[in-house]
Amino acid sequence: MGRHGTIAGRKEKQDAKRSQIFTKYARAIAVAAKGGGDMEYNIALKNAVEKAKAINMPNDNINRAIKKGTGELGGESYESGAFEGYGPGGVAIIVETLTDNKNRTTSAVKHAFDKCGGNLGVPGCVGYMFNRKGFILIEKTDDVTEDELMEVGMEAGMEDMIVNDDSFEIYTDPSDFAAVADALRNAGYELLESDIDMIPSMTLNPAEGDIKNLKKLVAMLEDDDDVQKVYHNCEVDLED
C-alpha cells in the first residue's frame, strides 16, 4: 500500500483549492445527513463533518449542509456514482462522484478520459484491483512516538501502519475505521486525513511519456465539482 505526496504538498493543495473543497465536502455532508442529523448515531455524517472541520470549513457552511440533507432547507438532491477506466499507460482509475445531474457528470468524466488518452470502461473493469480500507494520516512530529501510536492503533483494531519521512499512514478494515479514529483522537493525536478509501492491491509504473497525460487527467477530474475522489494505482505521484 502507501500513499503519494508529502504533508506539505497536501496542505498546499488544500489551501489552493479550499473553496472548491468546501463545495465537495458540503455535498458529502448533505448526502450523509440524509441518514439523520445526529452525529452520535450517524457515523457517516460524523466522519464527513470531521473532515470538513479539519480544513477549517466554517460552521455555518457545515450546519447549512446538514439542514439541506435532513430536508430542513431546500436545495439540490445529490446522487452518488462511480466510474472506472484506464488512463494512459494502462493505469487503473476509479472516479467517485456526487451529482445533481448524472448526464452532465457522465459527459464530463468521459470527456476527460478521451482528451487525455484514457478509456472509460464498464463498472467492475478495474475495481478488482482495489480494496476498500479505512485510512488515517498523522503527521510525524517530535510529539508523536511510533511505538505509542502503534500500540493505540493496534488495540483499537488497526490492520497496518506505514512510516514515511513526514507521516504515519494507518489502515483499517472499514468496520473498524470509526473505532480506530476515535481511539487515536481520544489519545490526543491530530488526524490530518481520515476516510474510507479505495486502496490499490497492485500498482503500475507507467512509461515516462504517459505521466504528463495521467497528471492532466487526474487534474481535470479533480477540478470537476461533481467529482469527490479519484483513485489510481500509479506508483508515481500524479498530483505534484
The model carries a pTM of 0.86
> Within this chain, do residues 119 and 209 fall inside the same structural domain, yes or no?
yes
Q: Which comes out higher in pLDDT, residue 75 or 116?
A: 116
> Within this chain, do residues 14 and 98 fall inside the same structural domain, yes or no?
no
Domain count, the chain: 3
CATH number at residue 116: 3.30.70.980
User: Hey, what's the torsion of the CAs at 70, 71, 73, 79, to 10 degrees?
Assistant: 80
State how far Cα 214 lies from the chain centre.
Answer: 18
- Reported as a single tens digit per residue, the pLDDT across 100-159 is 999 999 999 999 999 999 999 999 999 999 999 999 999 999 899 999 999 999 999 999
> Within this chain, do residues 153 and 136 fall inside the same structural domain, yes or no?
yes
> Within this chain, do residues 50 and 165 fall inside the same structural domain, yes or no?
no
Residue 3 reports pLDDT greater than 70: no
End of a domain among 48, 70, 92?
A: 70
Domain containing residue 94: 80-128+202-232
Q: Is residue 61 part of a domain?
A: yes
Q: Where are the beta strands (DSSP E) in 39-129?
A: 79-86, 92-99, 119-120
> Within this chain, do residues 195 and 134 fall inside the same structural domain, yes or no?
yes
Q: What is the pLDDT of residue 1?
A: 47
* Interatomic CA distance for residues 87 and 83, integer angstroms: 12
CATH number at residue 64: 1.10.10.200
Place of cell 494520516: 137
Q: Is residue 190 part of a domain?
A: yes
> Within this chain, do residues 121 and 134 fall inside the same structural domain, yes or no?
no
Task: Report which of 11, 16, 26, 28 is spatially closest to residue 57, judged by C-alpha positions.
Answer: 26
- Reported as a single tens digit per residue, the pLDDT across 163-211 is 998 899 999 999 999 899 999 999 999 988 888 999 999 999 999 989 9
Instruction: Give Cβ neighbours of residue 3 (< 8 Å, ≥ 6 apart).
Output: 135, 137, 169
> Within this chain, do residues 174 and 142 fall inside the same structural domain, yes or no?
yes
Q: Is residue 240 part of a domain?
A: no
> Within this chain, do residues 211 and 228 fall inside the same structural domain, yes or no?
yes
> Within this chain, do residues 196 and 141 fall inside the same structural domain, yes or no?
yes
